[in-house]
Homo-oligomer: A and B are copies of this chain.
């Protein structure tokens, strides 16, 4: 997978603090327009916890995830954090109607994203390009996700939150039935409106009940998807 390649490639091992928004494929920027489908797309890579853009910054770009997982989130003044969404391969984030980003975005694990200038996209949309409908559909999928997320945040108990999170976010690269959770417990907690301790306890509980099986910290196997689905209501 691209992400492990990324993590292993020596070229990425830059000194700490000096690797913000590196161009992944600088050579490709020499051929603007060469790839029509990408329209001024530009690849950047980020290490875990690196900020991609900050809450309140000028919203100049829209991003697509090529590898890894990105989280978008908001903060309260006292530091409490709410993760709004996780974006993985193919996911698009950075939509804004105003001039400023209303959420910040950061790498939940090492990842690669493509940037698109916002103005181009909007004029594209206005021109009636097919892409316009696709963008619209993406935005709407975001809305549907947000609605499901609100249901979890507002009305599900801790176990139910974790169960629905697993069903919704562990769809991905399986190996031996095990699925990789790219994000940390802290990220999961801040996504579900819980604490790391509670998330950890719920994982343990689900494993004790044989609904899931854990291998290490980031590999999960859903043993009883039906039971998990029942839990979610």
Binding site for B on A (CB under 8 A): 72, 74, 76-78, 80-82, 84, 95-98, 102-103, 122, 125-130, 132-133, 135-144, 146-151, 153-156, 190-193, 232-233
Contacts and interface: CB of A to CB of B under 8 A. Distances in A.
A190 B154 CA distance: 8
Nearest to A127: B128
Contacts of A148: 74, 102
Given A76-B155, A146-B146, 9 more contacts: A76-B232, A81-B155, A82-B151, A96-B144, A97-B144, A102-B144, A126-B132, A135-B136, A154-B192
Contact of A153 (B96, B135, B139, B150): B150
Contacts of A98: 144
Nearest to A129: B128
Contact of A141 (B78, B97, B138): B97
Contacts of A76: 151, 155-156, 232-233
Nearest to A154: B193
A2 to B, nearest CB: 26
A195 to B, nearest CB: 11
Label chain A's interface by main secondary structure: helix
A82 B126 contact: no
B151 A95 contact: no
Contacts of A192: 154
Nearest to A77: B233
Contacts of A232: 76
A156 to B, nearest CB: 7
27 contacts: A72-B147, A76-B155, A76-B156, A76-B232, A76-B233, A80-B156, A82-B155, A84-B150, A96-B140, A97-B137, A97-B138, A97-B140, A125-B132, A125-B133, A126-B128, A126-B132, A136-B136, A139-B139, A142-B143, A143-B146, A146-B146, A146-B149, A146-B150, A149-B150, A150-B153, A153-B154, A154-B192
